[in-house]
Amino acid sequence: MSLQNEPLTPEEGYAETAYRAEAIPEQSYAPKNERLSGRILETRMPWGSYLGVNPTIYQYSESWFREYQYIGDDYHDHTMINERRWSQYVDENLGAVYRICRFLLFLYSHGFSLILPGGGRAGGGAFFTVITALCTILFIFAADTLRQAFTPLAIVLAICGSATFILYFWDKYELRFYKRNRNWTDDLAFCRSTGMVKASIGDFPFYEFDAYIEMTIGTQGSQFHSLKVIHRYPHRSQLPHTKDPLEFSFTVDGSIAQLYAAWDMLQRYMDVSQPLPDIPQVEPFRHLDPTTKAYDEAGKRGRPATYWRDLYANSSEEELKALREAHRAEVDSTIWGGRPDLMELSVPNYRETRKGEPEDVNDFGRFPWKAGKFVDRPETTPPADSTDQQPNDEHPR
């Protein structure tokens, strides 16, 4: 895949506030964020220096094609990502009672089914059935009749069988929620066309956020890493009830490298000087984005317009799994460390307010004895043809 580092000239179709990596305005000093103290923010990931590698969970989505087929012509408005915005919230037109009942039905069907969603593997109901069957052997000798001995097993089979029946229809018809009462909202989203991040407390420029790898520790001492995108100026964006800074979470699976790939993808998605990331979810909308349309028409994508749709339609699950694992290996082998941070040119004290990065990004998190080894990033130098930037401390809300 192309690294997509060649600058492109976007056509009309974007707001003046649209984000471009080569035109980040000068900003004010980054204040110390007291609300982040006590959290284990392992490292802050760099701005710019795109590598053009997407996380595996987006590059080879297991659910994408099923949703795309079912939703059909309404896919643009009923999907999480399109060419305009990357939504962070699902707005469901449902009452509280309906939500509670659906949640309980979900717990019942998924917890007591004899098989797991998708079939092929034993579910929780199989465990309960086997335990009850073993106990039935003892009941035969203790019960007065065979009917009494087999009654518990019959009850468990009835409960687990009905749960399996419900799960089957859940898997088959759950996507109806997308077209009937489930909608990805524009009110909480990363907006490519405007360069703004929309939230309930206002709109904020994308370049005012920083990406961190946060570690949390489980009850058994296990470590979990996640990608957090946090607003740099909390005095402008404190949430009214908690006073916490505005932040967003992005879920990926696998190694630390997958988190770096997710941040790389999000930056390229927001940067209108770059084409949209080449992932299945946004392929149907590539022609609607000016920069991406110009990129594809110039033959730079190097793929048919319906590459992902055709791949999923014509590949078996085994073939997709092999592609998924090969891509996972590609992400894990990509050299993510040692890149300068473009934001150092725009925030005066940016270099002083961040931790260094792991000495070996690809091994970080997998080998605990390397956790304490951090190094400084290379210093960022202004391009030779750069012009003086004007301060831009105030932004419309």
Question: Which two three-digit tokens encode residue 352?
Answer: 């002083």
pLDDT at position 54 is: 96
pLDDT at position 115 is: 83
Predicted TM-score (pTM) of this structure: 0.76
Amino acid identity for residue 79 in this structure: T
Cα(196)–Cα(192) distance, integer angstroms = 7
Within 13 Å, how many C-alpha atoms sit on residue 318's CB side? Answer: 0
pLDDT at position 173 is: 66
pLDDT at position 388 is: 41
Question: What is the CB neighbour count within 10 angstroms for residue 122?
Answer: 13
Cα(350)–Cα(377) distance, integer angstroms = 12
Residues sharing a CB contact under 8 Å with residue 188, sequence separation 6 or more, in sequence order: 87, 88, 89, 198, 199, 200
Cα(180)–Cα(202) distance, integer angstroms = 29
Q: What are the DSSP calls for 95-117, one per residue? A: -HHHHHHHHHHHHHHHHH-SB-T
Question: Which two three-digit tokens encode residue 87?
Answer: 């939504």
Residue by residue, pLDDT tens for the chain (397 residues) are 444 555 555 556 899 999 999 999 999 988 877 767 767 777 889 999 899 999 999 999 878 888 888 777 888 888 889 999 998 876 666 667 777 887 888 888 888 888 877 666 788 888 888 888 888 888 787 777 878 788 888 998 999 989 888 888 777 666 555 555 566 778 889 999 999 999 988 999 999 999 998 877 766 667 778 899 999 998 887 777 777 778 899 888 878 899 999 999 999 999 999 999 999 999 999 999 999 999 999 999 999 999 999 999 999 989 999 999 999 999 999 999 888 999 999 999 888 877 677 777 777 765 555 555 777 777 887 765 544 444 444 443 3
Contact (CB, 8 A) for 92 and 181 = yes
Backbone phi and psi for residue 48, each to the nearest 5 degrees, phi listed first: 75, -165
SS3 357: strand
Cα(43)–Cα(374) distance, integer angstroms = 9
* Burial annotation 226-239 (CB, 10 A radius, 16+ → b, else e): ebbbbbbbbebbbe
Nearest alpha-carbon partner for 282 in 271, 273, 269, 291: 269
Nearest alpha-carbon partner for 359 in 376, 375, 343, 379: 375
Cα(139)–Cα(153) distance, integer angstroms = 10
Nearest alpha-carbon partner for 210 in 341, 25, 39: 341
Residues sharing a CB contact under 8 Å with residue 125, sequence separation 6 or more, in sequence order: 111, 112, 113, 114, 115, 159, 160, 161, 163, 164
pLDDT at position 380 is: 80
Cα(364)–Cα(176) distance, integer angstroms = 41
Cα(294)–Cα(287) distance, integer angstroms = 9
